[in-house]
Amino acid sequence: MRHRTAVLAGAVGLGLGFVGIAFTEAGDWGDYQVGDKRSGYTYAQPETQAMQDDDFENPAFLLVDLAAEQWTIPDGTAGKACADCHGDVENLAGVGASYPVYDEGWGKMMNIEQRINECRTENMQAEPLKYDSKGLLGMTALVKLQSRGMPMNVAIDGPAAPFYEKGKEFYFQRRGQLDLACASCHEDHSGEQLRANRLSQGQPNGFPTYRLKWQNMGSLHRRIKGCNRQVRAEPYKSGSDEYVNLELFISHRANGLPVETPSVRN
Amino acid sequence: MAQPKPRVRVPKKADKGDVVEIKTLISHPMESGQRKDRKTGELIPRKIINKFACVYNGNEVFSADLHPAISANPYLSFFVKVEESGEFEFTWVDDDGSVYTQVSKITVN
Amino acid sequence: MSKTLAAKDLSRRQFVITVAAGSAAAAALSVVSPGAVFATEDAKTLDEAIKSIVGDKELMDGADVITLDLPQIAENGNTVPLGISIDSPMTEADYVTKVHLFAAGNPRPDVASFNFSPSNGYAEASTRMRLAKTQDIVAIAEMSDGKAYMTRAEVKVTIGGCGG
C-alpha cells in the first residue's frame, strides 16, 4: 500500500502535456521519440525516468536553483549581472536548442558553456568558470532549461559546415585499444546490451545531466571523455575543438528531439 | 556554492485531517569515509548528513538517522497528517556540526 | 566516411565479447569507482549491525507487514531508490515507532533509521542509497506495542557496461 502523491510523469518533465510516458509500452515513447531518434530517457529504467519526471526529485535542480540566484547577482569588474543584459532568463528560450553556433570572433564553433564564459570575460569582466564546475554546469542547465520541450534545432550550413564535417569524422573514426568509433556503439548497436547496460543512441538533448554514477551533474564533454576512456582511447579536454565539433555533429543528429535538460541518466 | 542548499516540497494548502506528502533534498556529497583518494591512496575523511528532523508547530513528527550508505544529495520523503495551519521546520545535521534549516508554511482549512 | 560501416564486419556476438572484455579489464585496472568500493577495516556483519540497534529483541516475520519498494535491478549502485511502507493504523494507540534499514552486502550494513510518530498518518518513507553489489535489503519495523518485524528483499546491482 503506497500513498504516492500523483505526479504527471512526462508532463512535468517536458512541459508538453503528455502523461504517463514511463508506463507506455516499449516502442511508444511519446515526445521522447521522433522518427527513429530516441532520447536516452527511453533506454533508462523506470526508477531513473521517475527521477527526471518530477523536477523536485531531480537533484540537478539543486545546481539550477543556485544558477537562478546567480543570474541577478553582479560579478566581475564591469559590475554586471547576467540579467543586466538578458533580463529574465526566460528570454533565452530557444537558445539552448540551437547551440553550438559559429562565432565570428572565434572563427569556430562555440557551445553554451563557452558562450557563458565569453559573456563573463568580455561583458562582465569576470573570471571564466571552470568546465564541469558547479557554477558552469548550473548556468548551462539553467539556460538550456529555458528551451526544454523545444525541438533541437542546430544549423550546420554556412560557416558551420566544415566544423560539422570534422565532428562527423570524429564520430565515425575508430580509436583506442578497442578500436571502436562512437558509431560502433551508438549507430550499429544501440538498443543492445553491453554487459549489464543497454546502449543508447548517444543523444545529447538532455545534457548537462544528473548522472546516477557520478551522483552529480556533469557535462556532455565529461560523458564523451568517459566513452573515450571506455574504449581505452586518450580523451580530449572538455571544451576542446575536437569535442565542440563532435557536439555540433551529434546535436544536429538529435535535431527534432526535445531539449530535456537537465535529464537524469545512468 | 559551499553551503549545502536544502530543497523542500510541502503543499501550500490542505484540508484539516489530510495526510500530505513532504519531499526533501539537500546538496551534499555524503562523503562515506570509505573512499580512497585516487592520487594519494589516503582515505577521504567521512563527512555526511547524519541526522534529519521535521518539526511541525513545535513537535517533532519525523526524523531520520542517516549512514554513509545514503546517496549524495540525500533525498527523503514521508507523510504528515495536518490538523492546523502553521510551520514546518526542517533541519539537517552535518558531521562537522553544521546545521542547515529550512522553514515552510502550510494553510490548513 | 569509408570507415562508417566497418563495425558491421564484426558480428554482434564478437562485438559484445570484445567490448565486455575491454570494460572488464578496464574495471579491474581502474582501481576505484567513487562510492562503489569500500575499505574493509571497519566492516561489520549484518547481525552485528542489527544487534547494535535493536538489541536482542525478538524479530517476527514481517513479510505481510512491511512492504519494500525497490527496483529488481538497480541501474547504478550509487543511487538506488528505496521506499518502505508498513501496514499500521498510525493512531496514538497503535503506530510504527521506528524503521531500520540495512544493506546486508555492504561492508557497513547500516543505511538509515526512520523515527515515526502517529502524526505521520501513513508509515511510509523513501530515500536513495548506495549498494556495493547485488544483495538483500533488510527492514526492521518497531511498533508502539513493543513488537518488531523483519523482512528482506533482493536488489540486483548492475556493474559494468558503459561505466564511462
What are the structural domain ranges in chain A? 60-145
pLDDT computed for residue A3 by the predictor: 72
List of chain A residues whose C-beta atoms are within 8 Å of the C-beta of residue C76? 212-213, 266
- Inter-chain CB proximity A215 and B21 less than 8 Å: no
Question: Taking Cα atoms as reference points, which of B62, B103, B82 lies closest to residue B20?
Answer: B82
User: Rounded to a whole number, what is the distance in Å from the CA of C133 to chain A's nearest CA?
Assistant: 13
Domains and CATH numbers, chain B: 6-35+44-108 (2.60.40.10)
Which pLDDT tens digit goes with each residue over C44-53? 799 999 999 9
Residue B27 has pLDDT above 90, yes or no: yes
Average pLDDT, chain A: 90
Chain A residues whose beta carbon lies within 8 Å of the beta carbon of residue B71: 215
What is the model's pTM?
0.85
Nearest to C119 among B64, B74, B80 (CB): B80
Strand partners, A180: A175
Q: Across the strands, what pairs with C98?
A: C115, C142
C124: cell is: 511510509
Cβ-nearest to A62 among B7, B30, B79: B7
Catalytic choice (A82, A85, A182, A227): A227
Segment B11-34 shows an average pLDDT of: 95
**Contact call for A2 and C69, based on CB within 8 A:** yes
Q: What is the DSSP string of C126-160?
A: EEEE--SSSEEEEEEEEETTS-EEEEEEEEEE--S
Asked if residue C61 has pLDDT above 60, the reply is yes
Range name among A5-19, A245-259, B19-33 with the lowest pLDDT average: A5-19
Neighbouring residues of A104: CB distance < 8 A, sequence distance ≥ 6: none
A227 in catalytic set: yes
Q: Where are the alpha helices (DSSP H) in chain A?
A: 11-14, 46-53, 60-70, 82-86, 95-98, 112-118, 134-145, 161-172, 182-186, 220-230, 241-253
Q: How confident is the model at residue B5 (pLDDT cuts 50, 70, 90)?
A: confident
**Residues 61-90 in B contacting C (C-alpha not used; CB under 8 Å):** 61-72, 74-81
Q: Which residue of C has its CA nearest to B82?
A: C119
Query: C42, C82, C106, C115: best mutation site toward chain B, by most B Cβ within 10 Å?
Result: C115
Q: Phi and psi dihedrals of A17, rounded to 5?
A: 80, 20
CATH hierarchy code of domain A60-145: 1.10.760.10
Domain-located, residue C25: no
pLDDT score of A208 more than 90: yes
Q: In chain C, whose CA is at the least distance from the CA of A1?
A: C85
Across the interface, of C7, C26, C158, the residue whose CB is closest to A232 is C26
Q: Does B38 lie at the interface with C, CB-CB under 8 angstroms? A: yes
Give dist(CA C23, CA C18) in Å, integer: 9
The number of domains in chain C is 1
Complex ipTM > 0.85: yes
Owning domain of residue C142: 46-157
Least Cα distance to A173 among A242, A93, A76 occurs for A242
Q: How would you class C28 by CB atoms within 10 Å of its CB: exposed for 0-12, middle for 13-18, buried for 19 or more?
A: exposed
Q: Assess contact for B77 and B21: CB atoms under 8 A.
A: yes
- Are residues A216 and B73, on separate chains, in Cβ contact within 8 Å? yes
Share of chain A above pLDDT 90, in %: 82
pLDDT in tens, A152-189: 999 999 999 999 999 999 999 999 999 999 999 999 99
Q: Establish if C134 touches chain A: CB-CB under 8 angstroms.
A: no
- Check B7 against A5: CB less than 8 A apart: no
Contact assignment for C128 to B70 by CB distance below 8 Å: yes
CATH number for the domain that contains residue C72: 2.60.40.2470
Using a CB-CB cut-off of 8 Å, the residues of chain B touching C79 are: 71-72
Alpha-carbon gap: A244 to the closest alpha carbon of chain B (Å): 27
CA-based nearest residue in chain C for residue A44: C75
* pLDDT tens, position by position, A50-109: 999 999 999 999 999 999 999 999 999 999 999 999 999 999 999 999 999 999 999 999
Spatial CB neighbours of A133, under 8 Å, sequence gap ≥ 6: none
| pLDDT of amino acid C7 | 38
Instruction: Answer whether residue C163 is part of any domain.
Output: no
